């Protein structure tokens, strides 16, 4: 069903795109594909027009789905397809506003696009109401950078919960990352919705167990866990998926559709965004949301499996699994998250 354009959505998109620092006289490409959400493409163009940026649209064909299991929420758009002429044209822009379905976050062309100084701002494949609710918060980006620095300086991350989660992550050589969408520096990448701190652990760094409980989320499936599922991990890899329920069966089935690296850890971290909500999947049909908001809600522990460039692992199999009510501790310091509540000095002030 076509979505009518609302005036306040243009205002919100102009506010959101300010995170990418558009300047009068710059040239921006709105990159989309035929399966992109048309209202997002239009909103991006109208908002950019207000900033005085010269804008043009690049519409690519949506490639046929690969054979086998459906791929969702991968952050890896296949639309460019490695075509050198497309990469060269986009890389010469000052700003690329990415409205492809899956986005360029993990796309193979990302490095080449950024190498010449182009900035990329990725807009999540969400219905406009999500962006209307999730407005950029003053100070959030700086707090995300603070959290990233804490990860970089720490030697270990320990995640626990009353449900039985007990996961150990060695950090030593793992750089922290934190972002709330900023892409103002040449060669930078930002995305929205955002607001989280994370790291891609080095090989062999993660062991222990995760116990998922009702209300935790499986974003590949865009559904909440309705029963307990336990993952055992050894040397980065999920070695067992325990649970006599549909949630566990679905995870076992999806993991098994890919190679061994789908069972490996991609990234670990926590959410920082006070406006993001954990319960929003109940409010939207699956076609209306990609669940990006749940990756960022303040106080979640975000565990992900699949591709990990820092460990040299690449796979299409991918789970993002934000968990509630966990405690996340760096070294022996005060936890950054205690039972799902973000530490006071990491919270955005109202």
Q: State the pLDDT at residue 75.
A: 85
Count of CA atoms in the C-beta half-sphere (13 A) of 201: 28
Residue ranges, the chain, pLDDT below 70: 1-2, 350
Contacts of 39 (CB under 8 A, 6+ apart): 3, 5, 9, 128
Q: State the pLDDT at residue 2.
A: 65
Q: State the pLDDT at residue 62.
A: 96
CB atoms within 10 A of CB 113: 25
Q: State the pLDDT at residue 80.
A: 97
pLDDT tens sequence across 245-298: 999 999 999 999 999 999 999 999 999 999 999 999 999 999 999 999 999 999
With contact defined as beta carbons under 8 Å apart, do 336 and 150 qualify? yes
CB atoms within 10 A of CB 125: 22
Domains, the chain, with CATH or none: 7-133 (3.40.50.2300), 140-177+193-346 (no CATH)
Whether the pTM exceeds 0.85: the reply is yes
């Amino acid at each position: 069903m076509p979505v009518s354009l609302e005036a306040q959505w243009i205002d919100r998109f102009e506010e959101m795109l300010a995170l990418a620092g558009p300047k009068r006289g710059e040239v921006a490409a709105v990159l989309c594909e035929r399966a992109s959400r048309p209202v997002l493409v239009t909103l991006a163009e109208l908002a950019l027009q207000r900033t005085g940026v010269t804008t043009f649209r690049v519409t690519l064909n949506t490639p046929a789905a690969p054979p086998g299991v459906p791929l969702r929420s991968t952050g890896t758009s296949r639309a460019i397809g490695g075509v050198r002429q497309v990469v060269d044209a986009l890389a010469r822009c000052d700003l690329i506003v990415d409205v492809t379905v899956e986005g360029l976050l993990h796309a193979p062309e990302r490095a080449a696009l950024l190498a010449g100084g182009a900035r990329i701002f990725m807009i999540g494949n969400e219905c406009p109401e999500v962006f209307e609710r999730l407005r950029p918060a003053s100070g959030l980006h700086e707090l995300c950078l603070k959290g990233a620095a804490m990860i970089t300086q720490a030697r270990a991350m320990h995640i626990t919960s009353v449900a039985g989660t007990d996961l150990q992550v060695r950090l030593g050589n793992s750089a922290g990352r934190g972002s709330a969408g900023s892409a103002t520096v040449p060669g930078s990448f930002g995305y929205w919705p955002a607001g989280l701190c994370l790291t891609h652990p080095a090989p062999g760094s993660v062991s222990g167990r995760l116990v998922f409980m009702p209300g935790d989320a499986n974003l590949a499936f865009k559904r909440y866990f309705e029963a307990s599922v336990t993952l055992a991990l050894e040397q980065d890899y999920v070695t067992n998926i325990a649970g006599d329920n549909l949630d566990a069966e679905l995870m076992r089935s999806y993991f098994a559709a890919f190679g061994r690296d789908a069972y490996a850890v991609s990234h670990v971290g926590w959410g920082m965004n006070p406006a993001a909500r954990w319960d929003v999947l109940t409010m939207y049909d699956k076609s209306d949301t990609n669940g990006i908001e749940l990756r960022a809600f303040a106080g979640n522990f975000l565990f992900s499996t699949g591709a990990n460039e820092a460990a040299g692992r690449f796979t299409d199999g991918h789970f993002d699994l934000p968990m509630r009510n966990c405690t996340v501790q760096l070294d022996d310091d005060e936890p950054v998250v205690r039972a799902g509540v973000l530490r006071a000095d990491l919270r955005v002030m109202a």
